Amino acid sequence: MNTIRRKSPTPQPSRIQGTLGVRKPADDEPSAEEAPSGREPAAGSRTPRDEPPARPAAGERPSRRPERAAKPERSERAPRRDEGAKPARREDTAKPARGERAARTPGGSPRDSERAPRGESAARRSAEGRSPRGDDSAASRGGEQGHSDAARGSFEARTASAAAIAEAAQARAAVEGVRLSKLMAERGICSRREADEFIERGWVFVDGRRVSELGVRVAEDVRINLAPEATRTQQQRATILLHKPVGYVSGQPEPGYAPAVGLIGPDNQADRDTAQRFHPSHLKNLAPAGRLDIDSTGLLVLTQDGRVARQLIGEDSKVEKEYIVRVEGTLAENGLALLNHGLWMDDRPLRPAEVEWINDEQLRFVLREGRKRQIRRMCELVGLKVVGLKRVRIGRVKLGDLPLGQWRFLREDERFG
């Protein structure tokens, strides 16, 4: 059997990475005695760099990665170009002692050379009467004062801005004004419905100029006049006084009960001989100005005039209404005082009233407001029960001798307020 011998591969030359230094001549090389131990080999000895690369043994594959040459020692490295001009390192400078301060260096802070020891500086400031913080404290106070002034100025600016916005809003409101019909109702000239009717007919004059368009806005201090036709129409608007019997509702009709307005007719007119005669037109837009319970009797006002309705049932109405009330039960100890003032109803206090005994069974009430079933609920709060209620006066207009179930016109000389 023949054996084939393979030729060992020639090792590739190694590549040395790094910076090589220039070898000194033999005359300049230090002797073995001068060379530091462990750094320079003895004369005549071979270094690992001079030995040829070892051949791999038979059957071993050579390493493809060349061996990296050993890095030269620090002393053999080539000096940098600027190494000769390199300034002394910070570690080379001597550090001052613990209790001493370093002298001012050319690159140091200008305060370093002027800074005195802590104790000496504090003593000097104390002798001069300054605070330990010195000028820094004054500067801080000045900064705080400036910040406070800036904040105050900002607040004043915002306040002035808000005031300017409010003035602008008022100016816009003054320019835009209020609706003419609303202003006429507020002044008591007529109701808003009547105002719209008069405006459509051209019977309203604002500062001498005729207005015939609905929704017009005017200033609150304008002068408003009505045309003679509107005045005559208002005079023709009827206001009727009715002595309502029990069992009639004053407002909207209820099942099984007739409305009080059904009693207004030619047969029930009490003043037919002294006043104008009834006409069906008197029922147009006739509405009650105030309520009277179904189980109560007395004076009920029905009107076509919005001014009268506003005067009697407006939110700011202060027209008195007088009642004669028959009660039964035992009045609480302080019940009469509470009836006059101090009771609450529907989470609201009642306005002061005038309540007094007429006899052992009847009380006289004078109210300046009209809540639903107010007198009956007031009496229940103090231990009484109402068995009869009659309204005898509204403002300066009295029921008088008007028969039950009959009505009459409000006379020209009568006024509620």
Please give the positions annotated as active site.
293
Q: Which residues pair with 284 in a beta bridge?
A: none
Task: Give me the residues paired with residue 221 across strands.
Answer: none
Backbone angles phi, psi at 72, to 5 degrees: -65, 155
For residue 197, what is the enclosing H or E element?
helix 192-200
336's enclosing H/E stretch is helix 335-340
Mapped onto helix, strand or coil, the DSSP state of residue 90 is helix
Q: How far apart are CA 403 and CA 298, in angstroms?
A: 10
Picking from 278, 275, 286, the residue whose alpha carbon sits closest to that of residue 250 is: 286
Q: What's the rounded Cα separation, in Å, for the pair 261 and 31?
A: 144
User: If we measure between CA atoms, which residue out of 178, 172, 179, 176 comes closest to residue 195?
Assistant: 179
Count Cβ atoms within 10 A of the Cβ of residue 272 and give its class: 0-12 exposed, 13-18 middle, 19 or more buried. middle
Residue listed under structure tokens 């309204």 = 391
Alpha helices, DSSP H, located in 67-190: 110-114, 118-128, 135-176, 180-186
The residues, any chain, with a CB within 8 Å of residue 167's CB and separated by 6 or more, are none
The SS3 call for residue 126 is: helix
